[in-house]
Amino acid sequence: MTNIREPDLSALRNHLERQLPAGLDLLRQMVEINSFTGNRAGVNRLGRLTAEVFAPLGFTAEFVPSTNPAWGEHLVLTRPGAGGPALALVSHLDTVFPPEEEERNDFHWRPEGDRIYGPGTHDIKGGTVLMWLMLDALRARAPELFEAVTWRLFWNSSEEAFSPDFGAVCRQRLGTDTRAALVFESEEREDGRPLLVVARKGRAAWRLRVSGRGAHAGARHARGANAIVQLALLLPRVAMFTDYARGLTFNVGTVSGGTVTNRVPHEAMAEGEFRAFDPATFAEACVRLQALAGPGEVRSPEDDFACQVAVELLGETRPWPSNPGSEGLFAVWREAAAMLGFEAGAQRRGGLSDGNLLWDAVPTLDGLGPWGENDHCSERSPDGSKTPEYVAVSSFVPKALWNCLAIARLVATPNRSDVGQ
């Protein structure tokens, strides 16, 4: 769509600076709503506040029930355009902080200089506010662009709990005209250089369950088949599946077993996860883990009864590997950064986001939110060794301006071969 003029950057910057206080007040309202994934009422309250805030920009709300009745509703906001492509903007409503944790650690809205501490300031309520700042600025200072684009905005109600249905919610509504999915997870930096996410590891959660045979630890010890000993033999092997050169990590997260000390334990269990960037490596890891199932090495000395090992996959999120669509979007943002006088870097990130669910449906770029640090942390210590999550106020306007310019360039050149077309 080459007839879209590039926006006046000075006018955009001035508008963003004027609107920043309103954006920060919106962030305060959002942070003051506890939206822990398990707090269904809080998540829904935040969703309705979000819909109200975007309504004056012309967005219509749809609330989509989660497949898990304990979780809140997903939020979809749409605004039809006139002649331009569609863009999907993605955030989430939930945080990892239960109300009790916020109270225990006195973790609330707390401005200190350029930092604002509080639950979700960085992950990801700050990203939602940056979306609002950006769209408000485009509407006011680049109306031709704003009106041309069909905007589709998606908020996951349960991203922090690996929502199983949000990907389908998005894909059913993306349409064939969607040019890109832009995910507003927080920005990371390397030597002051902003990094945008072009790939993420996939994750699979697993459980090892060992069934042995109980026996009296004094009178019939030889009859027992010790499930804990069998599990203890397996776990180092699982940990050794980690291969840093291939981007594969296995983590043993929890271990349990036995009941009392005067009994040979008949059961033991461990849970963990593995992650990898490459789909083939991910699939191979799954096969190696499942190969542990079957008879174990630990047996009863009395009659050779063997412990049995069961392997369960508890759920998985597919990898988002490096791909031409994401790399093409990064090229657009990198060019926009150069026009603004700074250098941007591409990052493969180990944590999950909703980008894992969308990258193979539409070109996807992540890390478009503001900068800050210490996601998922609520503790503060006097010596500074523990610092809670915060967002940097000074990052909002530059990041919103950068996104505005990149989107304008993306929309103006829809047939670029390096954006997966």
d(CA 369, CA 185): 5
Q: Among residues 145, 169, 153, 152, which one has the least CA distance to residue 80?
A: 152
Does position 260 have pLDDT exceeding 60, yes or no? yes
CB 198 within 8 A of CB 322: yes
Q: Letter for the amino acid at 321?
A: P
pLDDT mean over 400-412 = 97
Per-residue HEC secondary structure of the chain comes to CCCCCCCCHHHHHHHHHHHHHHHHHHHHHHHCCCCECCCHHHHHHHHHHHHHHHHHHCCEEEEECCCCCCCCCEEEEEECCCCCCEEEEEEECCECCCHHHHHHCCCCCEEECCEEECCCCCCCHHHHHHHHHHHHHHHHHCHHHHHHCEEEEEEECCHHHCCCCHHHHHHHHHCCCEEEEEECCCEEEECCEEEEEEEECEEEEEEEEEECECEECCCCHHHCECHHHHHHHHHHHHHCCCEHHHCEEEEEEEEEECCCCCEECCEEEEEEEEEECCHHHHHHHHHHHHCCCEEEEEECCCCCCEEEEEEEEEEEECCECCCHHHHHHHHHHHHHHHHHCCCCEEEEECCCCCHHHHCCCCCEEECCCCEEECCCCCCCCCCCCCCCCEEEHHHHHHHHHHHHHHHHHHHHCCCCHHHCC
Does position 287 have pLDDT exceeding 50, yes or no? yes
Q: What is the pTM of this model?
A: 0.93
CB atoms within 10 A of CB 367: 27
Does position 25 have pLDDT exceeding 50, yes or no? yes
Burial 297-335 (b: 16+ CB within 10 A, else e): ebbbeeeebbbbbebeeeebbbbbbeeebbbbbbebbbe
Per-residue pLDDT of 334-385, as tens digits, reads 999 999 999 999 999 999 999 999 999 999 999 999 999 999 999 999 998 9
Does position 311 have pLDDT exceeding 90, yes or no? yes
pLDDT mean over 3-22 = 92
Per-residue pLDDT of 27-82, as tens digits, reads 999 999 999 999 999 999 999 999 999 999 999 999 999 999 999 999 999 999 99
pLDDT mean over 212-231 = 98
pLDDT mean over 123-147 = 98
Q: Tell me what percent of the residues of the chain surpass a pLDDT of 90.
A: 94
Name the residue ranges covered by the structural domains of the chain: 9-200+320-419, 202-317
pLDDT of residue 416: 55
Q: Among residues 139, 53, 50, which one has the least CA distance to residue 90?
A: 50
Does position 421 have pLDDT exceeding 50, yes or no? no
Average pLDDT, the chain: 96
Does position 254 have pLDDT exceeding 70, yes or no? yes
CB 243 within 8 A of CB 285: no
**Cα 323 from chain centroid?**
19
Q: Tell me what percent of the residues of the chain surpass a pLDDT of 70.
A: 97
Sheet containing 110-112, strands listed edge to edge, beginning at the edge strand earlier in sequence: 110-112, 115-117, 390-392, 372-373
CB 34 within 8 A of CB 99: yes
Burial 399-412 (b: 16+ CB within 10 A, else e): bbbbbbbbbbbbbb
Burial 245-282 (b: 16+ CB within 10 A, else e): eebbbbebeeeebbeeeeebbbbbbbbbbbbbbbeebb
Give the pLDDT band of residue 110 (cuts 50, 70, 90).
Answer: very high
pLDDT of residue 415: 60
pLDDT of residue 413: 80
Q: Letter for the amino acid at 233?
A: L
Q: Among residues 269, 279, 215, which one has the least CA distance to residue 247?
A: 279
Give the pLDDT band of residue 3 (cuts 50, 70, 90).
Answer: low
Domain 202-317 has CATH 3.40.50.300: no
CB 408 within 8 A of CB 87: no
d(CA 390, CA 379): 12
pLDDT of residue 417: 45
Class of domain 9-200+320-419: alpha beta
Does position 204 have pLDDT exceeding 50, yes or no? yes
